[in-house]
Amino acid sequence: MSLALLQGPSLRERTTLRLGGTAMAEVVIGCARDCDALPQTLQRLGGTPLVLGYGSNILASDGELPFVVVNPAVMDAPKVVGEDASGVLVRVGAGFRLPRLLGWLCSSGLTGLEGLAGIPGTVGGAVAMNAGSYGCETGSRLVSATVFDVANGVRTLMRDALHFAYRHFSVKETDDVSASLSPVIILDATFRLEVGSRDCIHTVMQTNYAKKKATQPVTAYSAGCVFKNPTHEASAGKILDSLGFKGKRYGGMAFSEMHANFLINTGDGTSEEAKYLLSNAQEKVKKETGYSLELEVRII
Known catalytic residue at 296: yes
C-beta atoms surrounding 9 within 10 Å: 20
Map residue 168 onto helix, strand or coil.
strand
- The active-site residue, picked from 35, 167, 192, 273, is 167
Known catalytic residue at 167: yes
| DSSP class per residue in 23-61 | -SEEEEE-SGGGGGGHHHHHHHH-SEEEE-SS-TTEEPP
Contact 164, 137 (CB under 8 A): yes
Contact 3, 37 (CB under 8 A): yes
- The active-site residue, picked from 137, 192, 225, 273, is 225
In Å, how far are 55, 68, 78, 191, 249 from 50, measured between CA atoms?
A: 11, 6, 26, 25, 29
Amino acid at 19: L
Query: Which residues carry out catalysis?
Result: 167, 225, 296
